């Protein structure tokens, strides 16, 4: 790409580092005319003629930055020339001192100099629109910034490097090839020719379907790595669920009281144990009665349970109905075979024969049991260990593993797999070429949605609005 071919949009500027006090901060700008803006505000130390338009890319220059009121700070200016920059446009980054007032003044000087304030994710959006990265890579940057565990960070890094993009690109090429041959057949429809034998076509569709299904399946692990293991604390009112949530978080987050039905709406918080992130949800206690609001809370509890990766089913081990509760837990587990479950036998301090009951409860529920006294914190560390062991391996994912981590990608892949399955059935049934071509085209579009080959303005807005300003 030569300099002339890069389309440069209006100049934008933003603070790229977090708000607050730090040693240094970065204010960046990108777009048409940013070198002129930089010339207006920056004087190179040692004087002499210097202009950004003449400076080479990847060079750093020390000097002062001024606004109308005079000098603001001593800064380093980094020059990136199109197309060799993050956005592929001309860019200048100023590294200044990291006080909030200094940083704001530097930004204001650039805005006064002719830049517009960037929107959230606008730098990355330009990198995508200018073809430097695809949509998957752009999203990976966002995931990396928000990653809370090493594994999440590593998976995002792999995606940023383009591992998944490459796989999808290969699939697209395979599909395009088959579509092209089918469309050629349609052009020659009078003559009844087959440019690719139906057996070959079926085999290649089957191969693609298998590969896409593998990616679809990786989402179970992938989303647990990226977003945390969705962990729901469920059980009857007063079992001690909110007490456990507070224990796991190490803070008094949820209201605890002896009144059954204290928690009405669910409460969500994250905590990281060793290298695994858990997204904990405390729910309203499950029971039949209760008034309207509690009833709605219970409905939400069931919804959360159905979405969980891990269910901590809590019961009061001192209560007479503990065996019934253990059976109820077993039923819940069978209703949600996808989720893992731990039976938390709480209030062992009130049950003199607590240890004896653990074995019995295990038998009745068919789940591993963690005995505990949530109020005093006894058994909480053991529970954390058990939770980690139930999702073992998540923290050890290798750099090379290509995982689907986002719901958007997962849904597009599932749709693509469905279209391929339809195509295969049509081929098997000896159906018309048009119908097969239609299904393959839609599979192609679904795969293209992921990397951004087929994309709507609305989707881009949703994706980039989640970024910070300055990224």
Ligand X SMILES: Nc1nc2c(ncn2[C@@H]2O[C@H](COP(=O)(O)OP(=O)(O)OP(=O)(O)O)[C@@H](O)[C@H]2O)c(=O)[nH]1
CA–CA distance from 351 to each of 234, 346, 371 (Å)? 21, 9, 11
21-36 burial: b if 16+ Cβ within 10 Å, else e: eeeebbbbbbbbbbbe
The Cα 90–Cα 199 span in angstroms is 52
* Sheet containing strand 91-98, strands side by side: 42-44, 59-67, 70-80, 91-98, 22-30, 12-15, 116-117
Nearer to Mg ion, 263 or 433 (CB): 263
Distance CA 140, CA 147 (A): 10
Q: Looking at 375, 414, 441, 453, which residue binds ligand X (CB under 6 A)? A: 375
Judged by CB, which is closer to ligand X: 79, or 256?
256
Q: Which of 346, 419, 422, 451 binds ligand X (CB under 6 A)?
A: 346
* 263 binds Mg ion, rule: CB under 5 A: yes
Segment near ligand X (CB under 6 A); pick from 105-113, 240-248, 329-337, 437-445: 240-248
Closest to ligand X by CB, 11 vs 237, is: 237
Which residue number, 187 or 320, has a Cβ lying nearer to ligand X? 320
Dump the DSSP string for 46-79: T-S---TTTSPTTEEEEEEEEETTEEEEEEEEEE
* Near Mg ion by CB under 5 A: residue from 130, 155, 158, 242: 242
> What number of chain residues touch ligand X (CB under 6 A)?
23
Q: Which is nearer to Mg ion, 108 or 262 (CB)?
A: 262
The interface partner of residue 257, options being ligand X, Mg ion, none and the CB cut-off 5 to 8 Å by kind, is ligand X
270 forms beta bridges with 279
* Min separation Cβ 385 and ligand X, Å: 18
Asked if 241 touches ligand X (CB under 6 A), the answer is yes
305 binds ligand X (CB under 6 A): no
Q: Which does 415 bind (CB under 5 to 8 A by kind): ligand X, Mg ion, none?
A: none
Q: What is the smallest separation between the CB atom of 288 and ligand X, expressed in angstroms?
A: 14
405 touches Mg ion (CB under 5 A): no
Fill in the DSSP letter of residue 84: S
The least distance separating ligand X from the CB of residue 137, rounded to whole angstroms, comes to 43
Is 246 one of the binding residues for Mg ion (CB under 5 A)? no
Q: Is 374 in the site for ligand X (CB under 6 A)?
A: yes
Contact between 442 and Mg ion per CB under 5 A: no
Q: How far apart are the first and last CA of the chain?
A: 24
Percent helix / strand / coil, the chain, rounded to 5: 50, 20, 30
| Ramachandran angles phi, psi of 53, nearest 5° | -60, -25
Is 84 a residue that touches Mg ion (CB under 5 A)?
no
In the region spanning residues 253 to 292, those forming contacts with ligand X, defined by CB under 6 A, are: 256-258, 260-263, 284-285
Verify binding: residue 262, Mg ion, rule CB under 5 A. yes
Judged by CB, which is closer to ligand X: 228, or 379?
Answer: 379
Length of the chain: 471
98's contact among Mg ion, ligand X, none, with CB below 5 to 8 A by partner kind, is none
* Residues 444/176, Cβ–Cβ less than 8 Å: yes
Question: Which residue's CB is nearer to ligand X, number 330 or number 371?
Answer: 371
Which of Mg ion, ligand X, none lies near 349, with the C-beta cut-off 5 to 8 A by kind?
ligand X
Residue 350 touches which member of ligand X, Mg ion, none, C-beta under 5-8 Å by kind: ligand X
Cβ-based nearer residue to ligand X, 254 or 416: 254
> What is the side-by-side strand order in the sheet with 369-371?
267-273, 276-282, 229-235, 310-316, 340-346, 369-371
Q: Which of 194, 168, 199 is nearest to 181 (CA)?
A: 194
**Which residues sit opposite 268 in a β-bridge?**
281
Query: Does 470 help bind ligand X (rule: CB under 6 A)?
Result: no
CB of 325 to ligand X, least distance (A): 12
Q: Enter the tokens of residue 413.
A: 């892949």
Q: Does 283 bind Mg ion (CB under 5 A)?
A: no
Select the binding partner of residue 243 from ligand X, Mg ion, none (C-beta < 5 to 8 A, by kind): ligand X
Residue number, 347 or 384, with CB nearest to ligand X: 347
Task: Give the three-state DSSP class for 457.
Answer: helix
Q: Which SS3 state, helix, strand or coil, does residue 1 take?
A: coil
Give yes or no for a contact between 240 and 370, defined as CB atoms under 8 angstroms apart.
no
Interface characters, 382-401, with Mg ion (x: CB under 5 A): --------------------
Cα separation, 208 vs 363, whole angstroms = 44
Q: Which residues bind Mg ion (CB under 5 A)?
A: 241-242, 262-263
Q: Which residues bind ligand X (CB under 6 A)?
A: 237-243, 256-258, 260-263, 284-285, 346-347, 349-350, 373-375
């Amino acid at each position: 790409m030569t300099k002339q071919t890069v389309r440069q949009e209006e100049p934008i500027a933003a603070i790229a580092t977090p708000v607050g006090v730090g040693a240094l901060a970065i204010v960046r700008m990108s777009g048409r005319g940013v070198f002129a803006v930089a010339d207006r505000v920056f004087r190179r130390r040692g004087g002499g003629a210097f202009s950004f338009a003449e400076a080479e890319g990847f060079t750093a220059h020390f000097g002062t930055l001024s606004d109308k009121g005079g000098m603001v700070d001593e800064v380093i200016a980094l020059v990136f020339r199109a197309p060799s920059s993050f956005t592929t446009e001309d860019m200048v980054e100023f590294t200044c001192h990291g006080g909030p007032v200094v940083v704001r003044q530097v930004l204001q000087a650039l805005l006064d100099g002719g830049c517009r304030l960037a929107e959230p994710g606008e730098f990355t959006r330009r990198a995508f629109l200018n073809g430097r990265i695809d949509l998957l890579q752009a999203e990976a940057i966002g995931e990396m910034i928000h990653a809370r565990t090493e594994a999440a960070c590593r998976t995002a890094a792999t995606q940023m490097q383009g591992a998944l993009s490459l796989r999808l690109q290969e699939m697209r090429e395979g599909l395009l090839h088959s579509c092209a041959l089918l469309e050629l057949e349609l052009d020659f429809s009078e003559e009844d020719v087959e440019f690719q034998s139906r057996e070959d076509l079926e085999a290649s569709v089957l191969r693609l379907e298998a590969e896409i299904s593998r990616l679809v399946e990786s989402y179970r692990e992938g989303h647990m790595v990226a977003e945390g293991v969705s962990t729901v604390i469920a059980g009857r009112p007063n079992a001690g669920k909110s007490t456990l949530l507070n224990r796991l978080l190490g803070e008094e987050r949820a209201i605890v009281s002896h009144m059954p039905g204290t928690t009405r709406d669910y409460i969500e918080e994250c905590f990281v144990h060793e290298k695994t992130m858990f997204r904990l949800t405390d729910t309203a206690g499950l029971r039949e009665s209760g008034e309207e609001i509690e009833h709605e809370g219970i409905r939400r509890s069931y919804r959360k349970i159905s979405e969980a990766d891990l269910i901590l089913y809590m019961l009061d081990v001192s209560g007479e109905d503990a065996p019934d509760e253990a059976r109820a837990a077993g039923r819940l587990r069978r209703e949600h075979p996808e989720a893992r479950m731990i039976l938390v036998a709480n209030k062992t301090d009130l049950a003199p024969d607590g240890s004896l009951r653990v074995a019995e409860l295990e038998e009745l529920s068919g789940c591993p049991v963690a005995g505990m006294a949530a109020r005093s914190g006894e058994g909480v560390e053991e529970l954390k260990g058990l939770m980690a062991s139930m999702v073992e391996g998540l923290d050890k994912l290798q750099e090379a593993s290509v995982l689907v981590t986002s719901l958007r990608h997962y849904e597009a892949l599932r749709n693509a797999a469905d279209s391929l399955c339809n195509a295969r059935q049509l081929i098997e049934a000896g159906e018309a070429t048009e119908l097969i071509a239609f299904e393959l085209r839609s599979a192609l579009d679904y795969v293209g949605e992921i990397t951004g080959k087929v994309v709507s303005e609305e989707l881009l807005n949703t994706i980039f609005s989640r970024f910070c300003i300055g990224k």
